[in-house]
Structure 1
Amino acid sequence: GPGGQCPRLPQLTTGPSPNGFNLAPFDRQLKRKQKNWAALQPEPAKYDYLREEVGGRVADRVFDITRTFSLALDVGCGSGYIAQYLNKETVEKLFQVDMAENALKNTMETEIPTVSIVADEEFLPFKEDTFDLVVSSLSLHWVNDLPRAFREIHQVLKPDGVFIGAMFGGETLYELRCSLQLAELEREGGFSPHVSPFTDVTDLGHLLGRAGFNTLTVDTDEIQVNYPGMFEVMEDLQGMGESNCSWNRKPILHRETMLAAAAIYQEMYGSNDGSVPATFQIYYMIGWKFQESQARPAQKGSATVSFGDLAKINSLISREKK
């Protein structure tokens, strides 16, 4: 997008640890505090528009698979953004896990029986081969070890179970990142990331494959939201519990830098009516846990094949010829 001029953010940053070296980019305790704070705001629902929308899109992908899942898990459920769209014909029982206990206290009514558990999304407290379905919407981008989180999800799935997730993609908030970086370069002669580094879509398929998933589908779309100005964008991010929690974030931005960034945002991206857009890129992923014992029943739309599977198919065909 137009944000192509911006310097790329570094993927790894260091946080404090007893030996002085730690590759974990995010302060998980701070993220938990931010989410708990957001859940206690007088109108938390005011900031839920993005999670509501994406939760619905994840639920649509669950409905595309024509089967009933007897036991499902929502990883990083917040106040139940996916659950509210599901029904008993699709999911018979749902476990909801989130690191922020206040978010779980706010969970919305749903016709499915649910069990809420406070736990870190990176360390799922369940036995192997437990769930028929695992879903996750907009929480995995704050996980320190994404490969590990995917492996955990794969592990708790039953064979022939499916993972359906959504997370923020690399172009998310490029307008905000560019404006802050340019203002800092201009005012302070250097910049530090104020927005989390996001995963690249090519990395995502690779990480899911390494975690053991197969028959992968990864697709992406963008949601653009218009705001009166940059300060409203930042206020809403805070209200969503989406403020930066990178260890290397700058504790404060100078007021002049903030005002300069708001002016740059307006100038580079502003609409004629004075509003400014913020782009959220969403990656959707579907991955299956392989079942040795039987061939998989055809899924809806199973005539399509991804390039990753072509090599497998060719080797199967040549094996059958022998």
Structure 2
Amino acid sequence: MSAVLLRQVREHFSCHAADYDRFAKVQKIVAARLVDEALPLADSGRVLDVGTGTGEVGRCLLEQNPDLSLVICDIAPGMTRHAAAVLPGALAVDCDAQLLPFASGAFSLALSASVYQWMNDLPQAFGEAQRILAAGGLFAFALFGAQTLHELRYSHRQAVAEVNALGRSHVQEFPGREGVGEALAATDFRILRLWSEREVEWHATVADLLRALKKIGAQNASDHRPPGLASRRVMQRMSEIYGERFACDGRIPATYEVIYGLARAPLKL
């Protein structure tokens, strides 16, 4: 990710820290699910929550194990400050998941929920997670996959094609499960399990969905995103297509594909 985009992502998520918990319904489900999967497989020792956001993963961890030695980190200082306030016993650090400022082998468990889909270099990010884990340490992650918000992507692309044949969609592209597996295989991790599940949110209108996405700081973080803002004509036509194709009982769905992974660091120092 370029320095300019990195700064934009940091600022965007920081600005929405106060609103995040009211709108991040799926993200909370994912955090709880991830912790439930990881803790039975983890050894004792220091734990790192990568991309802590408002601290939901940390909260779930401490709820099950109050004596946990927890470190939380996030690229957005506003998020880190918010999480630190609700997790006073945790050590909080501002940092990028693709360049973690921790010593090699410092943690027995590293978790991350709803973060790695924003990485432009997923193998690099996974490599950093492996580096900071002790021998045999557990890496548990959940990220949003390629089918996430497929209704929104389809509707926007159709609208762009109708209104401006030369235009490109601004909607974020997320990695597929095969790509995630390849990125994980590029490290020395031993993959224990890699699977996906679907969560569906329902909204009254497309405008409500877009408002909720904005409130959690979601934006296109790709270095290859097209420049400029979507036109009003495109947005209006997108809303029409979304409703015509996907609405059910007066509401519109927003589907999230959640890719979960569990992996062990190699048994060597």
Output the TM-score relative to the length of structure 2. 0.92
Q: 1:34 to 1:267 in 2, by over 3 A?
A: same
Match runs of 1:22-61 below 5 Å: 27-40=5-18, 43-61=19-37
Aligned equivalents of 1:169, 1:274: Cα separation in 2: 27
Q: Per-residue deviation at 1:292?
A: 4.7
Deviation, 1:24, is 5.8
Q: Identify the range of structure 1 (206-215 vs 169-178) with the bigger mean alpha-carbon deviation.
A: 206-215
Structure 2 unaligned segments of length 5 or more: list them.
none
**Length-normalised TM-score, structure 1:** 0.78
Rate the CA distance shift 1:166–1:25 in 2: closer, same or farther, 3 A.
farther
Q: Could you give the per-residue CA deviations for residues 76-101 of structure 1, whole angstroms, max 9, x where no partner exists?
A: 01011111111374862111010111
- Equivalent residue, structure 2, for 1:148: 124
- Of residues 247-256 and 125-134 in structure 1, the stretch that sits farther from structure 2 once superposed is 247-256
**Aligned partner of 2:160: which letter?**
E
SS in 1 for 2:129: helix
* Kept in 1: contact 2:204–2:252 (CA 8 A): yes
Q: 1:195 to 1:281 in 2, by over 3 A?
A: same
Among 217, 222, 229, the alignment partner of 1:246 is 222
Other structure's SS at 1:64 match: helix
TM-aligned CA deviation for residue 113 of structure 1: 2.9
2:59 corresponds to 1:84: yes
CA contact (8 A) 1:69 1:90 kept: no
Does the Cα contact within 8 Å between 1:214 and 1:289 map onto a contact in 2? yes
Question: Whose radius of gyration is greater, 1 or 2?
Answer: 1
By relative contact order (CA 8 Å, sep 6+), the higher-ranking structure is 2
Comparing 138-147 with 276-285, greater Cα deviation is found at: 138-147
Counterpart of 1:63 (choices 28, 39, 42) is: 39
Partner of 2:78: 102
Distance 1:174 1:215 in 2: 27
Partner residue in 2 for 1:303:
none
Distance in structure 2 (CA, Å) of the matches to 1:25 and 1:175: 31
SS state at 1:58 partner? helix
- The structure carrying a bigger helix percent of its residues is 2
Following superposition, the deviation at residue 246 of structure 1 comes to 2.9
State the partner residue of 1:193.
169
Q: 1:259 aligns with which of 236, 253, 261?
A: 236
- Provide the residue aligned with 1:12 in structure 2: none
1:20 matched residue in structure 2:
none
Give the Cα separation in 1 of the matches to 2:261 and 2:4.
23
Q: Determine what percentage of the aligned residue pairs are the same residue.
A: 25
CA contact (8 A) 2:43 2:137 kept: no
Tell me if 1:209 matches 2:185.
yes
Distance 2:129 2:12 in 1: 24
* Number of aligned residues: 266
**How far apart are residue 239 of structure 1 and its match?**
0.7
Residues 1:119 and 2:101 aligned together:
no
TM alignment of 1:310-321, pairs within 5 A = none
Amino acid at match of 2:93: I
Q: CA RMSD in A?
A: 2.1
Residue identity in the other structure for 1:178: Y
How far does the alpha carbon of each residue in 1:120-177 deviate from its partner, in whole angstroms, 9 at most, with x for none?
1111001111100000011111122111111111010000101000001010011001
What per-residue deviation string (whole Å, max 9, x for no partner) do you get for residues 29-66 of structure 1? 111111011114xx43211212211110111112332x
CA distance in 2, matches of 1:125, 1:115: 13
SS of the counterpart of 2:86? coil
Distance 1:147 1:26, change over 3 A: farther
Instruction: Report what 2:206 is aligned to.
Output: 230
- In structure 2, C-alpha distance between the alignment counterparts of 1:193 and 1:268, rounded to whole Å: 18
Change (3 A) 1:259 1:128: same
